[in-house]
Amino acid sequence: MHGVLMRCLAALLPAALAWSAAAATATDCTRQPVAPARAHAVGTDMVVNGLPTRVLTMEFAGTAEAVSDAWRQYWTREGVPARGQRAGGQYVLSAIDGLCHYVLSLEPRPAPGGHVAGIFSVSKLAPVASGTGLGDLGLPPGAKVLSDVQSTDRGQRGRTLVVRLPGNAQAARQRAAERLAAQGWSSVVQMPAPVADGSGRIEGLTLAMQRQQERMDATFVDRAGQTDAVITVARPE
């Protein structure tokens, strides 16, 4: 599922949906505004916040500024509204062409080898129903879904939810474990969640549960009196 990557993409989509679309000229969503030196498909059959989406990682020759300029020039020639901004230290470029929403997120500094790394996503602005068959895990009252990423590839169906829950992380994890146990899930592990920087610091709590071939992994982090939870559930296709 490439969970961190998918959550990043889910966070980028809502802001672009707030501005108007241009006349439809590429309803199949196959435009490639800037040609990459290399590209790798992350997901070709995904649903991000209800929208059909495909995602690729890319590497570009030149600088992030040059790629950003090429992006703007392409859409200007095509007469399509486009914009760019700096967000979280990255360049985030976007364009909406009819029902097609294109986003390119670029690292500001070149990767080893001199190429600029980026994440390119294309979404069709036509919501679809969940195709994974994976439910909402019985989210409690007061839960707010911040993002919802679904994928069906490599022989596996998966869904990652980022959810804001009432109460602190310890209580939220306990309630989740009890709720899932009542639905037939078995607890595999509950433990602190270390920060992935080698420091040994703890940030949040984890929970892993299993039901037949389905597996659920979740991390709960305190956020100013509430809890942000990242919940990933997957099963073989």
Q: Which of 58, 40, 47 is nearest to 13 (CA)?
A: 47
Instruction: Give the span between the Cα atoms of 70 and 64, in whole angstroms.
Output: 10
* Domain residue spans of the chain: 3-124, 144-236
Eight-class DSSP state of 33: S
Of 175, 130, 126, the closest CA to residue 148 belongs to 130
| Rounded Cα–Cα distance for residues 41 and 224 (Å) | 37
Give CA 74 to chain center in angstroms: 26
* Neighbour tally for 42: CB within 10 Å: 19
By CB atoms closer than 10 A (0-12, 13-18, 19+), residue 50 is: middle
User: How many C-beta neighbours within 10 Å does residue 22 have?
Assistant: 16
Alpha helices in 59-141 (DSSP H): 64-78
Which whole-number Å values give the CA distances from 143 to 138, 146, 162, 180, 226, in the listed order?
10, 9, 10, 15, 10
Mean per-residue pLDDT over the chain, rounded: 80
Confidence (pTM): 0.67
Q: What is the mean pLDDT of residues 2-20?
A: 43
User: In this predicted structure, what is the pLDDT of residue 49?
Assistant: 84
Fold of 144-236: Protein Transport Mog1p; Chain A (3.40.1000)
Question: For 52-82, what is each residue's pLDDT tens digit?
Answer: 889 999 999 989 999 999 999 999 999 999 9
Greater pLDDT, 141 or 176:
176
Residue with tokens 């869904």: 159
